[in-house]
Amino acid sequence: MSEQSRSHRGGRALRVGVVMLAMVLLLVAGWVLARQFESPAQREARAKPPKPGQVFEKVNRGPLEDLASGSGKVEFTKTDELTLATVPANAVVTNAPTRRFQPMSSGSIVTEINGRPLLVFSGRFAFYRDLRLGDKGPDVRQLQEGLQSAGYSLSDDGDFGATTLRALERLYAAHGYAVQAKTIPLSEMVVNDRLPGRIVSVPKVGSHPVAGEPLAKLSTGELRVVVHVDGPVAARLEKRMAASVTAGVGSRPVRGTVESIRNGSDGLSVVIVSTTRKLPDRLAGEAAVAQFTLSRVASDALLVPSRAVARDASGQTSVIVRTGSELRQVQVTVIGEQTGVSALSVDHTELSAGDDVLIK
């Protein structure tokens, strides 16, 4: 072969190699551009998470119950308003001798108006006139009975005599006042038929009492928790049903029982719960929550999500337990199920609280 022929063939091979290299470079460039300009659908497909792995949850131990709750507040079950039939001219509260929740009995002082005491007496009807030495009548007898309840010895003959006056003077003196003109004015007497009790609210110094309007509030009952529940829950409640009460910020739950259930407004029912432990007066008016146990599936059992329980063709139930990196099947007996949780009976050596079970 001549030198010229060999030179011609070498040039042709070089040209073919250059063309092939250019084609490879074009393919690579096209792939890079395609990666840079992939569609949103392509990017979303690449961003999808991998298939989830196995999910486990802890086994718990305790009761399995159907619970319901209602919210409300702590209230005195019996509260009376103290109202004056008459007040002196330009009446103003000049002193606050009683504090909130102070015990009240017949002969106690409620407040001071125009420098004079307002006294509460036990009785069945409101006083209707000023009472003075020499008066007779049922109102005098009621005053005498009130003085007797306050601890003063005298007869209740309905005759306002010297013995009644002396008892009245001693009562006034015990509060730091004096009887004026051998008379107790109507504006210094108020009656309650359920004494003894506790004062719940008293007028502020500087306020102006008005005849016929409530002046103070007196409680003669114990504190109860009053909550509201919807109709379907109320239909499942019964008197003396157990309840757990939480009242006031930071307070611990207290055991109680349903005392009464009555229909309320807006489809809600009013439930009064009494507590086994006496509530302190400071909780009066505080927000409260009562929780009721409508039914109890199990008092003490191992609890797992119901999805963790498998049932085979023969009806045998089991759960898959993880121990380290190994899985094992444990046969169990389902006691009952409530709101997605199953109570189990099982040999404690096979399954315990704190174990991990596989969720199906």
Nearest in space to 110 (alpha carbons), one of 13, 192, 202, 243: 202
At 30 the pLDDT is 52
Q: CA-to-CA distance for 177 and 174, rounded, in angstroms?
A: 8
Q: CA-to-CA distance for 277 and 273, rounded, in angstroms?
A: 12
pLDDT surpasses 80 at 152: yes
At 296 the pLDDT is 87
Phi-psi region of 102 (alpha: psi -120 to 50; beta: other; left: phi over 0): beta
Largest CA distance in the chain: 165
pLDDT cut 90: percent of the chain above it: 71
At 45 the pLDDT is 47
Nearest in space to 288 (alpha carbons), one of 279, 299, 300: 279
4-18 in b/e burial notation, b at 16+ Cβ within 10 A?
eeeeeeeeeeeeeee
Calculate the average pLDDT of the chain: 87
Where residue 261 falls among pLDDT bands split at 50, 70, 90?
Answer: very high
Of the listed ranges 23-37, 152-166, 184-198, 332-346, the least confidently predicted one is: 23-37
Of the listed ranges 26-35, 74-83, 132-141, the least confidently predicted one is: 26-35
At 32 the pLDDT is 47
Where residue 35 falls among pLDDT bands split at 50, 70, 90?
Answer: low
Q: Are 296 and 63 in contact (CB under 8 A)?
A: yes
pLDDT surpasses 60 at 27: no
Average pLDDT over every residue of 1-18? 53
Instruction: Using DSSP bridges, classify how beta strands 317-323 and 103-104 pair: parallel, antiparallel or unpaired.
Output: unpaired
Nearest in space to 97 (alpha carbons), one of 9, 238, 13, 203: 203
Main-chain phi, psi angles of 192, to 5 degrees: -140, 140
pLDDT surpasses 80 at 159: yes
Distances (CA, A) of 150 to 97, 129, 132, 184, 334: 18, 21, 19, 16, 66
What is the torsion angle, in degrees rounded to the nearest 10, for the CA atoms of residue 202, residue 206, residue 210 and residue 213?
Answer: -30
Instruction: Determine the 3-state secondary structure of 6 from DSSP.
Output: helix
Q: CA-to-CA distance for 134 and 169, rounded, in angstroms?
A: 15
What is the value of pTM for the model shown?
0.62
Where residue 40 falls among pLDDT bands split at 50, 70, 90?
Answer: low
pLDDT tens digit sequence for 44-81: 545 555 446 789 999 999 999 989 999 999 999 889 99
Contacts of 92 (CB under 8 A, 6+ apart): 113, 114, 206, 207, 208, 209
Length of the chain, please? 360
Where residue 312 falls among pLDDT bands split at 50, 70, 90?
Answer: very high
pLDDT surpasses 70 at 239: yes
Task: Using the Cα atoms of residue 221, residue 227, residue 231 and residue 233 in order, give the sign of their dihedral.
Answer: negative
Q: Peptide bond preceding 196: is omega within 30 degrees of 0, i.e. cis?
A: yes
Q: Are 309 and 317 in contact (CB under 8 A)?
A: yes
At 10 the pLDDT is 53
What is the token pair recorded at 97? 């001798």
The residue to which tokens 């063309």 are assigned: 19
pLDDT surpasses 60 at 13: no
Q: Which residue has the higher pLDDT, 35 or 84?
A: 84
Q: Are 111 and 203 in contact (CB under 8 A)?
A: yes
The residue to which tokens 């739950």 are assigned: 253
Main-chain phi, psi angles of 183, to 5 degrees: -135, 145
